[in-house]
Structure 1
């Protein structure tokens, strides 16, 4: 990885210990962001991440000023909000239903636009503009924290190896209509949106992630989407369990 990026690679013996550390990071960054900017803007991903995040965070609800939290999704599947493939539904079940975050501060795709992926992406960009444009002098939204997962092929959000979505340097959020992983139709943050965040945290667990993590972290393989996530002015965290990090030479065991 680039030595110019503030980088932290931490490995934990168990997923439970990782969950505690991730909740610690979330709480600490929320306090700092609210003190500095008056709010805490977060981008969430799906997969196993919401459950890992919520496992310890829901035990300390009083540590977060939830009314000052604004949530977006780093990518979303173009399905109804109550569909089993919806990242919103997953995050609601694991986290939102257990904490006092105002529903209007959770930014969802418009289910009335599902037939047109371009319109869904444009509407989601409008929501981003509404939240970020009046306080943001950068060309892209600047999130306080983006929480990302990683697939066995190295994809993150809905940015897949070899897809043209990786080449977009202008847009904030774009459609992906040919995902190799079902469902095929999605929207996703672009690499520039990811790379303008104050803090980006990847979370990966399990033996199935060993080889791809070695290619990303030890070998800096630029063909892999997750390796292209390198915040311009922010911090990059990798929170791993020992099963996932077993082949890495660069890691701090906890």
Structure 2
């Protein structure tokens, strides 16, 4: 990791982690809106990413965010039809987005399979949408898989090595569904802050591997923010 040194924050369990991270994200968004008038956050799926969104929905402090001045993006997506229950966007809507007064023009889901001819076309369209946006992401959220994958960038997969494109199509992903669209490592590294979420004993080895820096093939070891990198974990996933 060549960016700012990672800070590890350990929480008692996954629920405490979700609630504390929700409070932290509310504060980060409010601070960005005070400083720049708007804020930009990249969401993640998975049990920890969606758990965070549910905690945001339940937080009484959510009213401190100007939701109409918030841009939401996604770090990756399953290339499935719009509304498919396995899409991160669908799950995010159910957990939070439908409950807060967002500006629909500021919600940027990755194109679904029924709106793009191919995952490559979806990646190109999303890259163009990113290019038209002003400024870097304020906070980019990433779940960490047991194999150290982040977004849909898996160990040993060609997408992990992409350096020219902002968004990439992913084929033959080792977890279903196999066809996906993902931000690339350089795009992730362009965010002001990158927050990596990991909870549960099944994530402990991945967290330890990534933080040690010894395995440069680990996707989670390759990502960082330009200003801050946070690892938000529970005790079960925390490095010894």
By the TM > 0.5 criterion, same fold? yes
Distance verdict in 2 for CA 1:19–1:147, change over 3 Å? same
What is the CA–CA distance in structure 1 between the aligned matches of 2:50 and 2:26, rounded to whole Å?
16
Distance verdict in 2 for CA 1:122–1:19, change over 3 Å? same
Structure 2 unpaired stretches of 5+: none
How big is each residue's C-alpha offset from its partner over 1:95-150, in whole Å with a ceiling of 9 and x where there is no partner? 11222212222112333444311111111112112223xxx4xxxxx210001001
Work out whether residues 43 and 74 of structure 1, in 8 Å CA contact, stay in contact via their aligned partners in 2: yes
Q: Secondary structure at the match of 2:40?
A: strand
Match of 1:98 in 2: 99
Count of aligned pairs: 237
Runs (4+) off by over 2 Å:
49-52, 109-115
How far has the Cα of 1:219 moved from its partner? 4.5
Structure 1 unpaired stretches of 5+: 137-141, 250-254
Moved more, 95-104 or 36-45: 95-104
The answer to whether residue 239 in structure 2 is matched with residue 242 in structure 1 is no
How far has the Cα of 1:52 moved from its partner? 2.3
Counterpart among 187, 209, 216 of residue 193 in structure 1: 187
- Tell me the TM-score normalised to structure 1 length: 0.88
How big is each residue's C-alpha offset from its partner over 1:220-250, in whole Å with a ceiling of 9 and x where there is no partner? 421101100133x2210011110111xx24x
Write out aligned runs for 1:47-196 (5 A): 47-58=46-57, 59=59, 60-111=61-112, 112-132=114-134, 136=135, 142-196=136-190
What is the CA–CA distance in structure 2 between the aligned matches of 1:129 and 1:226, rounded to whole Å?
24
- Tell me the TM-score normalised to structure 2 length: 0.93
How far has the Cα of 1:54 moved from its partner? 2.5
Work out whether residues 77 and 87 of structure 1, in 8 Å CA contact, stay in contact via their aligned partners in 2: yes
How big is each residue's C-alpha offset from its partner over 1:67-104, in whole Å with a ceiling of 9 and x where there is no partner? 11101110011101211210100111111122221222
What is the CA–CA distance in structure 2 between the aligned matches of 1:230 and 1:221, rounded to whole Å?
16
